[in-house]
Amino acid sequence: MKKAFPVMKTCPLFAGIAESDYENLLAALSAKEDFFPKNETVIQIGDSGKRAGLVLSGVLEVSFYDENATLVSVTRIEPGNVFGAMMLCAKVTDSPIHLRAVSDCTLLFLDFSRLLQNVARQSAAETQLAANLLGYFARRSFLLTQKIRILGQKKLRDKLKLYFTTLPKQKNGIRKLPLSKTELASFLYADRSALSRELSRMQEEGIIAMDGKEIVILDPDFLD
């Protein structure tokens, strides 16, 4: 389990917890490491929702089926990020999401629900993790609200505008798209060709500049 420690250090969920406490903490959460090759399913829609943990390597894709039985990509989960924690702690019996390994993945499964048991006898590390988990749930709730707001826009350009505001801006002004155009179209619930045309128009109008997955907002008023 010690090879998971470097990734745990980068994860906000373990902030404020000393590395010397990691081993006992993982034991308390019944930690188990597992490998999933590319394209293998981690969680099926309808599963019990009892699988949660930390991505140690590789990338996971979260998706769901729309009313036309089309698999719609929601987001991707990269190393140092958590998956399934909300479903596990909420005791969801039928998973509404599909979780797939986009690349070869090593996952650290953790039983976060144990943090809700025997609270009075928890170690300081467990108490800190529980507090961090609460903060994580709050951030996820905020992100979900943003997602709903994005999909609530009628015009594709307005969807893109709101989506761009969710992307962290680097010091050089560059924002990196975590999704391919096909995945972004699925995320925005838009046609891929329509998305490509809209992005091209926005570049022609001097609103944005794109180079692969890197984007710069040239018009300072666009995101207002």
Phi-psi region of 49 (alpha: psi -120 to 50; beta: other; left: phi over 0): left
pLDDT at 87: 87
Cβ contacts of residue 97 below 8 Å, gap of 6+?
A: 43, 45, 62, 63, 64, 74, 87
Q: Which residue has the higher pLDDT, 81 or 1?
A: 81
CB 218 within 8 A of CB 207: yes
**CA 39 to each of CA 42, 65, 75, 83: distance values in angstroms, whole numbers, following the listed order:** 9, 17, 15, 17
Residue ranges matching CATH 1.10.10.10 in the chain: 156-217
- Rounded percentage of the chain residues whose pLDDT exceeds 90: 59
Ranges of CATH 2.60.120.10 domains, the chain:
2-151
Taking residues 216-220, what's their average pLDDT?
90
Q: Is 34 helix (H, G, I), strand (E, B) or coil?
A: strand
Give the range among 4-13, 47-56, 61-70 with minimum mean pLDDT.
Answer: 61-70
Q: How large is the average pLDDT for residues 126-136?
A: 92
pLDDT at 25 over 80: yes
Query: Which parts of the chain fold into alpha helices (H)?
Result: 5-10, 22-28, 85-89, 124-151, 156-165, 181-187, 192-204
**Mutual angle of helices 156-165 and 124-151, in 10-degree steps:** 160
Segment 75-95, tens digit of pLDDT: 889 999 999 998 888 888 889
Q: What is the mean pLDDT of residues 175-180?
A: 87
| pLDDT over 80 (residue 151) | yes
Say yes or no to pLDDT of 48 above 90.
Answer: no
- 137, 131 in Cβ contact below 8 A? no
Q: Is 1's pLDDT higher than 90?
A: no
Domain 156-217 has CATH 3.90.1640.10: no
pTM above 0.85, yes or no: no
Confidence band, pLDDT 50/70/90 cuts, at residue 43? very high
Tokens of 113: 């629900």
Confidence of residue 161 (pLDDT cuts 50, 70, 90): very high
Q: Which fold has domain 2-151?
A: Jelly Rolls (2.60.120)
d(CA 42, CA 54): 12
**pLDDT of amino acid 74:** 78
The rounded mean pLDDT for the chain is 90
Please tell me the least confidently modeled range out of 67-76, 82-91, 190-199: 67-76
Mean pLDDT of 55-78: 86
**In the structure, what pLDDT confidence band is assigned to residue 66 with cuts at 50, 70 and 90?**
confident
